[in-house]
């Protein structure tokens, strides 16, 4: 209806460039004259700065879309895009709830593809450690500028023919915050537009933040792509899994993503911008961009602290960020569930913002018994992906059994009728909800504070079925940085890994580093000189007993661990010194009112053989993966741990 040929915007841009040479009044007059015969597209191109305009032109001439749509972030626009998606069969309405929708993807496009994700720098070692012993590094993939250009030229020319190109101006972080950054995502997916409108702040307000004469935005080009043979096997979810590629060029703040419409592959503000490009900006500017949730916790005395926690994908960030404490008198409030940008203020306090505006959370396992707050958040204005649906217009996934579902039929994520006897899960293990953060009933009052919230503790954690205790504290900052570097976790469905293996995932950032991990460690260590560094802890909700069951009930009971951390932040003497760090002293973990009996002795035991092997594995990992880039402080920490473990 409101569309205009893409060619027009190119003509339009040259005219606007000319107009910029004129004074404001003359310009305004001419622009309004021009708009009269050029306005066939959606949105107001006069709002674009010259930098944005030339980026849009560049992308349009490369991708050759039929139409260009400049997103204004409005509800009317969403209505229009939903109509398009309904017609294409990309989404179906979930009539049981208010303004909720379900998307089913091409089954070949269900998770981030780490093996096809690259960082492009002139020299390889700027992006990844190069070590003689590593056949292939696992701390990221490097691509040469020439090869990146070739990859683009092989995929993008004409890839949007027959489609509309959407231009999404978005802010990571509250609009106008000194900690926020702006991006422009170009995409040919309505699903991406609607998801970005939930996950980030989108619209004209964002453009107003860009100074007219500068290019200070991250350039994010995305196309779902077209397979070489022209066949889109699932027309409602076009993609090109064979040629999917996700490219980042930190030097020019460029992200280029082709072939996938899913999550972190296509919602480019998230992992691509806020972490990969973000970490390089943060390094340059002296702050931290991390894969961390942020929560506020108030103790029974009314004292409040904020903590940030890094767990790998699908290891419990959303659940912890929204937890309902089982310990009486405690209150948890949520600032963010996935990403933290942290910077010291002029007083030397580490302050964090959540750059996102929504939650892209794992659906399976989310239930009233585990995460009631998420359940109270997600049943309005939410876009679900790859969950199962019910015949009464609702959703279903593994973990929701407790809510009944006896009088309905269930259709699985592939669109097939499903029964509880089926061997395969109804929802894809990486199925997700995409929901506005503001709807969360325990969203923190300061979650959009432009100054960020003060961070008192940093937690690292992962899925460690064996040997790693529920919680322990680092002896000092360098030891804490070492703990982050030595993190390991069982693989999950959030990426393309097969089977359950214990993988090294330093800082929960392994798939998200934008630059050499050795330099990243130096940067972390340098934080101690920049301000008052928080205490560092390691947590593990996932230790299993001999029966193969979790030793710890987790979820709301994790408040007991937060309570101990809170007391340690307040310098309470409630710890014992051990080989691996400070553990809660006998009786220090509050277990009053625990609903199940917990084998505390087993949960806090430090098996000597396990830790001896752990130290060897860490040493081996550092040697083969980080090599000469490993800071001396970190290898010293490893030596000290090794000595302590030897004397355990
Ligand atoms: P990403 O969004 O991929 O970064 O994941 P996340 O870190 O936010 O993980 P999330 O909170 O979505 O949890 C993933 C899975 O872990 C879900 O199936 C949860 O039910 C499960 N989980 C979370 N917390 C706990 C816990 O304390 N104990 C146990 N046993 N499982 C948990
Ligand atoms: C993760 O995998 O850590 C996620 C989901 O948060 S995605 O946005 O796909 O990266
Ligand atoms: Mn994540």
Chain position carrying tokens 């090109």: 240
**From the CA of 91, how far away is ligand 2's center (Å)?**
21
Phi, psi of 321 (to 5 degrees): -65, -25
Residue 263 Cβ < 6 Å to ligand 2: yes
pTM over 0.85: yes
Cβ(137) to ligand 1 under 6 A?
A: no
Q: Which residues of the chain have pLDDT under 70?
A: 1-40, 134
The DSSP bridge pattern shows strands 331-336 and 293-298 to be antiparallel
pLDDT in tens, 256-268: 999 999 999 999 9
64 lines ligand 2 (CB under 6 A): no
315 catalytic? Reply is: yes
User: What does the pLDDT read at residue 22?
Assistant: 53
pLDDT attached to residue 342:
98
> In this predicted model, what pLDDT tens digit does every residue of 418-441 receive, in sequence order?
998 999 999 999 999 999 999 999
- Looking at residue 24, its pLDDT comes to 52
Closest listed ligand to the CA of 339: 3
- The catalytic position among 272, 315, 334, 440 is 315
190 CB near ligand 1 (under 6 Å): no
Atom in ligand 2 nearest the alpha carbon of residue 263: 9
Ligand 1, atom 13, residue with closest C-alpha? 316
The atom number, within ligand 2, closest to the CA of 313 reads: 3
Collapse the DSSP code of 520 into the 3-class scheme (helix H, G, I; strand E, B; otherwise coil) and give the result. Answer: helix
Residue 237 tokens, joined: 């979810």
Ligand minimally distant from the alpha carbon of residue 114: 2
Strands 67-70 and 164-172, how do they pair? Answer: parallel
Q: Roughly what angle, to the nearest 10 degrees, separates helices 517-530 and 632-646? A: 90
* pLDDT at position 36: 33
Q: Check pocket membership of 494 for ligand 1, CB cut-off 6 A.
A: yes
Contacts of range 11-17, beta carbons closer than 8 Å, 24 or more positions apart: 11/38, 12/38, 12/45, 13/45, 13/53, 13/54, 13/56, 13/57, 16/45, 16/46, 16/50, 16/53, 17/50, 17/53
* All residues with CB under 5 Å from ion ligand 3: 313, 338
Structure tokens at 19: 């107009």
Could you say which ligand is closest to the alpha carbon of residue 316? Answer: 1
Whether residue 432 has its Cβ less than 6 Å from ligand 2: no
């Amino acid at each position: 209806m409101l569309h205009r040929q893409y060619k027009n915007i190119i003509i339009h841009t040259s005219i606007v460039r000319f107009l910029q040479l004129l004074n404001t009044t003359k310009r305004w007059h001419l622009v309004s004259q021009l708009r009269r015969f050029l306005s066939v597209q959606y949105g107001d191109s006069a709002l674009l700065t010259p930098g944005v305009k030339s980026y849009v032109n560049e992308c349009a001439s490369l991708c050759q879309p039929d139409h260009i749509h400049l997103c204004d972030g409005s509800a009317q626009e969403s209505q229009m895009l939903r109509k398009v998606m309904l017609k294409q069969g990309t989404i179906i309405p979930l009539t049981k709830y208010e303004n909720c929708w379900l998307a089913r993807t091409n089954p070949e496009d269900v998770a981030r593809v780490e093996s096809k994700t690259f960082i492009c720098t002139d020299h390889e070692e700027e992006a990844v450690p190069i070590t003689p012993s590593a056949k292939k590094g696992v701390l990221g993939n490097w691509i040469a500028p020439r090869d990146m250009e070739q990859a683009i030229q092989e995929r993008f020319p004409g890839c949007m023919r027959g489609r509309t190109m959407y231009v999404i101006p978005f802010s990571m972080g509250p609009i106008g915050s000194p900690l926020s950054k702006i991006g422009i995502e170009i995409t040919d997916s309505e699903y991406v537009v609607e998801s970005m409108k939930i996950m980030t702040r989108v619209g004209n307000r964002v453009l107003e933040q860009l100074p007219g004469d500068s290019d200070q935005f991250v350039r994010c080009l995305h196309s779902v792509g077209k397979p070489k043979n022209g066949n889109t096997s699932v027309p409602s979810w076009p993609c090109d899994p064979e040629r999917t590629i996700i490219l980042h060029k930190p030097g020019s703040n460029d992200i280029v993503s082709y072939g996938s419409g899913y999550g972190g592959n296509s919602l480019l503000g998230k992992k691509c911008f806020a972490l990969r490009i973000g970490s390089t900006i943060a390094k340059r500017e002296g702050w931290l961009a991390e894969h961390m949730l942020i929560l506020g916790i108030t103790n029974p005395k009314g004292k409040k602290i904020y903590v940030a926690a890094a767990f790998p994908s699908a290891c419990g960030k959303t659940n912890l960020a929204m937890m309902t404490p089982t310990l009486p008198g405690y209150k948890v409030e949520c600032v963010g569930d996935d990403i933290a940008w942290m910077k010291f203020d002029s007083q030397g306090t580490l302050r964090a913002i959540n750059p996102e505006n929504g939650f892209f959370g794992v659906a399976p396992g989310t239930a009233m018994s585990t995460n009631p707050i998420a359940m109270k958040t997600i049943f309005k204005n939410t876009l679900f992906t790859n969950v199962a649906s019910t015949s009464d217009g609702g959703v279903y996934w593994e973990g929701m059994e407790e809510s009944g579902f006896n009088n309905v039929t269930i259709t699985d994520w592939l669109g097939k009728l499903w029964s509880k006897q089926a061997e395969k899960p109804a929802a894809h293990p990486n199925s997700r909800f995409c929901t506005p953060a503001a709807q969360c009933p325990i969203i923190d009052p300061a979650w959009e504070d432009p100054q960020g919230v003060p961070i008192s503790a940093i937690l690292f954690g992962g899925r460690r079925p064996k040997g790693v205790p529920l919680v322990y504290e680092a002896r000092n900052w360098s030891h804490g940085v070492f703990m982050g570097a030595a993190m390991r976790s069982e693989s999950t469905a959030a990426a393309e890994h097969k089977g359950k293996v214990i993988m090294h995932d330093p800082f929960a950032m392994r798939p998200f580093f934008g630059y050499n991990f050795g330099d990243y460690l130096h940067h972390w260590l340098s934080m101690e000189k920049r301000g008052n560094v928080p205490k560092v802890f390691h947590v593990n909700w996932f230790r299993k007993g001999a029966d193969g069951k979790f030793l710890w009930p987790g979820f709301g009971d994790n408040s007991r661990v937060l309570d101990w951390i809170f007391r340690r932040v307040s310098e309470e003497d409630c710890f014992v010194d051990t080989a691996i760090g400070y553990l809660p002293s006998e009786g220090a973990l509050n277990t009053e009112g625990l609903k199940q009996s917990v084998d505390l002795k087993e949960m806090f035991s430090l098996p000597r053989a396990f830790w001896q092997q752990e130290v060897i594995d860490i040493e081996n990992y550092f040697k083969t993966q980080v090599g000469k880039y490993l800071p001396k402080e970190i290898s010293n920490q490893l030596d000290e741990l090794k000595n302590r473990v030897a004397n355990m």
